[in-house]
Each structure stands twice: as C-alpha cells, then as structure tokens.
Chain A
Amino acid sequence: EVKLEESGGGLVQPGMSVKLSCATSGFTFSDYWMEWVRQAPGKGLEWVAEIRNKANNYATYYGKSVKGRFTISRDDSKSIVYLQVNSIRSEDTGIYYCTTGFDYWGQGVMVTVSS
C-alpha cells in the first residue's frame, strides 16, 4: 500500500523558516518524481515544487510564487521528500500536500503564518 505522510507544519512567524517532510512507503521512491502542492484556506490547489529522480539528475522546478524562497530536496535512502520554506509570508498559509507525480497524495500538513 502506498503511503505518504507529511509533517513539520504548524504556526510560523512571518519571515521565519520551516521545513516540511513527507515520509513515504509502499513504492520504489527513488524511481518517482515528487511534487509539493498547497491549498490556501478557501482557495484552489496550487502546484509548488517538483523534484525529479536520479535518472533525471534530481532536477528541481518551482512555481512562480515560491521561486527563490522554497527548496525541494529528497533523500532516496530514507524515501523522504522535503520542502524548505524560507522568508515565509502570510500568503504561504495553507495545507501542503506531497504527491507522487499527482498519482498518490498524502493527507497534507497545515502551515499557518502569523505573528
């Protein structure tokens, strides 16, 4: 059974940093491209970041609204994908989901940006 479980969210002050993790199991993690998607309260889904597999040189891509502040990374030995969020803003508030190329999704982790 494919499982994805996000963690690391919570209340974060504006300007600070947070690192989200997504632990996975049930599939060959190293083969897959991994994505982060977020959903602001009352809004639709927004693709945030992608990291490809070793065969694709672990290439990374970012949405326009997060480029330069977010960093996606992965640890194939642990089957975990990360999202480092720096200089966090109020508009970064929302639920963050990890997904295996949009096939399987985690339940999400809430990030609230507030002072």
Chain B
Amino acid sequence: DIQMTQSPSFLSASVGDRVTINCKASQNINKYLNWYQQKLGEAPKLLIYNTNNLQTGIPSRFSGSGSGTDYTLTISSLQPEDVATYFCLQHSSRWTFGGGTKLELK
C-alpha cells in the first residue's frame, strides 16, 4: 500500500504570506495527487487535481506542483478565508490520504 506523509502538521502564517504544504508518497504516484481544503464543520473541497490542475472556482492563489514521490500545495498570498485543514490524496493505487495540515493565522 502507498503511504502518504504530509508536512507540516500545523502551520501558522500571516496574511499575505506564501505558504507551502508538502506530501511525500512512499512510491512514485505519477502525479495522481489531489489537494483538498476542509474548513471547520464543512465538507472537504477539492482544490487541485492531478498535481497542478486548479478545480473550477478555486482562486488562482492556490497552485500545485510535484512529480514522482514529492508534491507541494502553494498558497501564494494567504487570505483570512484560507484558514482550514488541508490534505492530500493519492489516487495512483487505490486511495491514501495525507495526515492533514492545520493552517491558522499568526
């Protein structure tokens, strides 16, 4: 089974900061990597699919990159409404989630 290691688990940043969240797979997942945002009490929302494709309606400050085993979600300029937990999902071989990153404002 593919394991996903997400880092950091917790992140505190200021409005306007550039924020990066990482996911590392235990083997090559061929860019089959999605990123989600989950706000408290809400359903998870798909942000990025297949590494770098922005879901419709998602602000362009969100972007994804990576290949092989290493993937990154970047928020170019943090906004207050971005406070949430973020997690990755590999769908190369079955499905495995990262452990999540809780993002808060400093």
Contact mask for chain B residues 79-106; partner A; CB cutoff 8 A; 1 contact, 0 none: 0000000010101001111111000000
- Using CB atoms, name the residue of chain A closest to B4: A44
Once the chains bind, are A102 and B91 in contact (CB under 8 Å)?
yes
> Which candidate, A12-20, A23-31, A69-77, A103-111, is the interface stretch facing chain B?
A103-111
The residues of A that contact B96 with a CB separation of less than 8 Å are 47
Interface of A (DSSP majority class): strand
Question: B41 at interface (Cβ–Cβ under 8 A)?
Answer: yes
CA distance A67 to B91 in the complex (A): 20
Question: B72 at interface (Cβ–Cβ under 8 A)?
Answer: no
Question: A46 at interface (Cβ–Cβ under 8 A)?
Answer: yes
CA distance A97 to B46 in the complex (A): 14
The residues of B that contact A102 with a CB separation of less than 8 Å are 34, 46, 89, 91, 95
Once the chains bind, are A103 and B100 in contact (CB under 8 Å)?
no
- Using CB atoms, name the residue of chain B closest to A63: B94
CA distance A87 to B43 in the complex (A): 28
Question: A4 at interface (Cβ–Cβ under 8 A)?
Answer: yes
Once the chains bind, are B87 and A45 in contact (CB under 8 Å)?
yes
Question: B44 at interface (Cβ–Cβ under 8 A)?
Answer: yes
Once the chains bind, are A45 and B43 in contact (CB under 8 Å)?
no
A: contact size bracket? 10 to 19
CA distance A94 to B91 in the complex (A): 23
Contact mask for chain B residues 56-95; partner A; CB cutoff 8 A; 1 contact, 0 none: 0000000000000000000000000000000101010011
Once the chains bind, are B43 and A108 in contact (CB under 8 Å)?
yes
Once the chains bind, are A105 and B43 in contact (CB under 8 Å)?
yes
Interface residues of B, Cβ cutoff 8 Å to A: 1, 34, 41-46, 87, 89, 91, 94-100
Task: State the 4 A-B residue pairs at the shortest beta-carbon distance, nearest first.
Answer: A45-B97, A105-B43, A47-B95, A44-B99
Q: What are some 26 contacts across the A-B interface (CB < 8 A)?
A: A4-B43, A35-B95, A44-B97, A44-B98, A44-B99, A44-B100, A45-B87, A45-B89, A45-B97, A46-B97, A47-B94, A47-B95, A47-B96, A47-B97, A61-B94, A97-B44, A102-B34, A102-B91, A102-B95, A103-B46, A105-B44, A105-B45, A106-B43, A107-B41, A107-B43, A108-B43
